[in-house]
Structure 1
Amino acid sequence: MLRLICVFLPLLGAAAEIRGGVFKDINAEDEDQQPTVIESLCMNCYENGSTRLLLTKIPFFKEIIISSFTCPHCNWTNTEIQSAGRIQEQGVLYTLQVKTKEDMNREVVKSDSASTRIPQLDFEIPAFTQNGSLSTIEGLLDRAVAGLEQDQPIRKATDPVVAEKIEEFIQRFKKLKEVEEEFTLIIDDSSGNSFIENPFAPEKDMALTVTHYKRTPEHNAALGIEVEEEENDEKPGSDLDTMRNEVLVFNTNCPECNAPANTNMKLVQIQHFKEVIIMATNCDSCRHRTNEVKSGGATEELGTRITLHLTDPSDMSRDLLKSETCSVLIPELEFELGMAALGGKFTTLEGLLKDIKDLIVSKKPFMCGDSSTADRAEKLELFGQKIDKIIAGEMDVHIILDDPAGNSYLQNVYAPDPDPEMKIEKYTRTFEQNEDLGLNDMKTEGYAEK
């Protein structure tokens, strides 16, 4: 099936570009968004069937290729989903505690590079052994059961002992579907293109933990990514001196339309803080703009928690640096945005709140179309209205920036005097926070110079 997609994709792309783009937003009311039907060989009975291909976009998962094969001769069917978007900068690990039958209805996007584990059953589906799918938790379990049952008749005839053990395992799987006891579902995707729905959005999901991590060389090799290590024989500081005085430009691709674009990079010294690297990408094709901030220094010895009490609309103009490791909390809204959700940003407080609203309200997956419910849509609409009130200065709230790496910053408009409405706390990181930052495996002492 994948080979068939690769052969016909250029033809589909050329035809779709004439209509205004290869991948269109998924919309049931769009008459132009019709699947392409291709005659293809059935791998079950070797007669000719038909494959329907649809190039579209869904929130978060971005560009995808949906393929569905049906054979009128033997009634065999097969559906697949392939990611056509970019591999994310970091891998993602989802850990869900399934406690009720309602959890079985959570929507799940699982790419082909994702592995699935259920520790209670000592069960694992390795990466690249299944095609990508758009389903629910119950659908994932049904798919696993169907795979185990596929060769059971042959096993019962050739190896009854193994068949009996697998049958017992299948029965345990079916009990999980009834949620007779709690279990843990883990989806680990090194490409970062998988997702588990949070039905309580915009509130935090207490049963779901999302962790972003840096890929290992083995992960990159499995994904077909080649990372070149460049040797630097320049004198220490020479490259940094060049970057401080110039805006560096390098070629890249737009994260939205994948057209060629330029990224500008500059080292900037933030007053009363530290040096940071700011990168901005502007796409001439779709007018999409992004900016990203990386810390120019090392991880601080202590974490930083900045709490600002918003008392005036002028607070919205405060400069703000949010690193990739920084979480954003608004206690009055019971809202928490985890680290890496918006990436690193150098903006104003108003810009950060608008980005949060755009992420939660406008781009939240499974909150539009058939997946949406009136209750969820109302909750998100109410959340967006509260964010608008905060920006307008009509709500008395606190904004908390919690960065265990200590690389985030919020402008003090009274500097160098203390800000009466802002509190800055330094704290010792926990073992779990050091683990997330990769510090527990680092050894920086005890090396003798040769």
Structure 2
Amino acid sequence: MSVIGEGEARGGPVFKDISAEEDDMHIIESLCMNCHEDGSTRLLLTRIPFFKEVIISSFTCPHCNWSNTEIQSAGRIQEQGIQYTLKMKSKMDINREVVRAESATTRIPELDFEIPAFTQKGSLSTIEGLIDRAVTGLEQDQAARRVTDQDVAAKIDEFIAKLKKLKDVESEFTLVIDDPSGNSFVENPCAPQKDPDLTVTHYKRTEQQNAVLGIQESDTLEQEKPGNDLESLRNEVLIFNTNCPECNAPANTNMKLVQIPHFKEVVIMATNCESCGNRTNEVKSGGATEEQGTRITLHLTNATDMTRDLLKSETCSILVPEVDFELGMGALAGKFTTVEGLLTDIKDLVLKNPFTCGDSTVSDRSEKITSFADKIDQIMAGELSAHLVLDDPAGNSYIQNVFAPDADPEMKTDKYTRSFEQNEDLGLNDMKTEGYEA
């Protein structure tokens, strides 16, 4: 194969924002697998907001007019796997857009139907498109089956008819997309509100899933080196090499242990990319999982509340009842910021979601998003009273008490016992901490 078009190597980020320009398009001569003549493949390395980097390839053959389009995730594997369970109740659900990674398994329990992982290339389509693609795959060898085994061909024809009937949504059925890489996504048309028909579950990958994804886990822990104890780490900024999450160029990440007053120690990591100028920060708890979960409710009454320091761990969910907003754990990762900074991140997360903006969005949804952004602005300006709720089953989140050590009249902190499902999400049900020999 040889490059015959644009896309010469040059400086700058490898993955750029998606746009209508073709300056970064690569055109490669490729063999057509249909007629075995020479065709061309167009490759676009781009970055879609909310979905990170992707590689889009489109093959066309001028001889037989055969074409094929694929999408492949070029981003890093997420820390946790993800499972989407969608109750299909109306024909509108068929039009939901779906990002399905190659590592995702798709199931329809009512038909006992499953598309295993790595049997199809990654795709960006609708649920109707997923069903059509499954039908096309089943119909591919039907002509030969009708000659060699008519009974099997008849059963497959019957099953194909059932799949096609699903698109009419005459009866309710369930669609499950399980992706251990965490890079799949199902559209929420109710955004920024929670979708009552869509359940999103984050989970810890098994050793077998890590092996399938090519993630190598260390079998032994490194010996602790002299001078690297906790006391010395508190006064030292550690620097290690990594890649920029935006352009994938080499960058440095700084890490430091910080003691939050009246709370606990946390690990703050900051990455600064010299290639694209992107800056990110993430916070990890420096302590163990608490015995009980924590639910912090802060009444936002004026603009001065926006300056309160805030720690949101990666296991914390966010709720703002006054605007019917709920954000599940893992969506914004761990953050050490202010209340204003968190509300700004929430606003940007909703506005930059490609399924809720752009020319393809419907007017009603666009109005909801605009109204939501206006309400967030009013809350930050102190014009609208609201409650900010941080619900962290691990107990590692925190909002600054400006009256410390006295109680804060506008803030309420509740401790609660975790449910079995919350312990399962945190990986605590299978964790054994007693009975080991010294």
TM-score, L = length of structure 1: 0.92
* Aligned mates of 1:14, 1:87 — CA distance in 2: 28
Counterpart position of 1:352: 342
**Structure 1 residue 100: Cα displacement:** 0.7
Deviation at 1:33, TM superposition (A): 4.6
Considering fraction of residues, name the structure with more helix.
1
Q: Identify the residue that residue 331 of structure 1 maps to in structure 2.
A: 321
Unaligned runs of 5+ in 1: none
In 1, distance between residues paired with 2:90 and 2:395?
38
> What is the root-mean-square deviation of aligned Cα atoms in Å?
2.1
TM-score of the aligned structures, taking structure 2 as reference length = 0.94
Distance in 1, Cα, partners of 2:70 & 2:3: 16
Q: Secondary structure at the match of 1:357?
A: helix
Relative to structure 1, the CA distance from residue 65 to residue 298 in structure 2 (aligned partners, 3 Å threshold; closer, same or farther) is: same
Equivalent residue in structure 2 for 1:419, among 397, 400, 408:
408
Aligned to 1:243: 233
- Equivalent of residue 284 in structure 1, options 274, 279, 284: 274
Deviations 1:93-125 (A, max 9, x none): 111111110000001111111111111111111
Shift of the 290–218 alpha-carbon distance from structure 1 to 2, 3 Å rule, reads same
Partner of 1:14: 8
> Which structure 2 residues correspond to residues 121-132 of structure 1 after superposition, within 5 A?
121-132=111-122
Structure 2 match to 1:439: 428
Letter aligned with residue 116 of structure 2: P
- Please give the alpha-carbon distance, in whole angstroms, between the structure 2 residues aligned to 1:234 and 1:168: 63
Give distance in 1, aligned partners of 2:45 and 2:145. 40
Match of residue 289 from structure 2: 299
Unaligned runs of 5+ in 2: none
Alpha-carbon shift at residue 374 of structure 1 (Å): 2.4
Say yes or no: does 1:449 pair with 2:437: yes
Work out whether 1:52 is the aligned partner of 2:42.
Answer: yes
**Percent identity of paired positions between Structure 1 and Structure 2:** 72
In the alignment, structure 1 residue 191 sits paired with structure 2 residue 181: yes
Q: SS at 2:232's partner residue? A: helix
The alpha-carbon deviation at position 8 of structure 1 amounts to 5.3
- 1:34 is displaced (CA, Å) by 6.8
Which position in structure 1 is the counterpart of 2:260? 270
Matched, 1:182 2:176: no
Pick from 89, 94, 116 the counterpart of residue 84 of structure 2. 94
Q: Is the 8 A contact 1:27 1:33 kept in 2?
A: no
Equivalent in 164, 168, 173 of residue 163 of structure 2: 173
Aligned equivalents of 2:60, 2:82: Cα separation in 1:
33
User: Does residue 217 of structure 1 match 2:200?
Assistant: no
Cα 1:80–1:171 change in 2 (3 A) is: same
2-side partners of 1:372 and 1:276: how far apart? 40
Tell me the alpha carbon deviations over residues 184-242 of structure 1, each in whole angstroms, 9 at most, x when there is no partner. 11111222221111111111111111222233332232222223344343389953223
Q: How does 1:400-411 map to 2 (within 5 A)?
A: 400-411=389-400
Q: What's the counterpart of residue 15 of structure 2?
A: 23
Alpha carbons of structure 1 residues 158 and 178: separation in structure 2 relative to 1, 3 Å? same
Matching residue of 2:379: 390
The SS at the match of 1:381 is helix
Native 8 Å contact 1:13 1:22 kept in 2: no
Moved more, 162-171 or 420-429: 162-171
For 1:224, what is the secondary structure of its paired residue?
Answer: coil
Q: Work out whether residues 55 and 66 of structure 1, in 8 Å CA contact, stay in contact via their aligned partners in 2.
A: yes
Give the counterpart letter for 2:272 in structure 1.
Answer: N
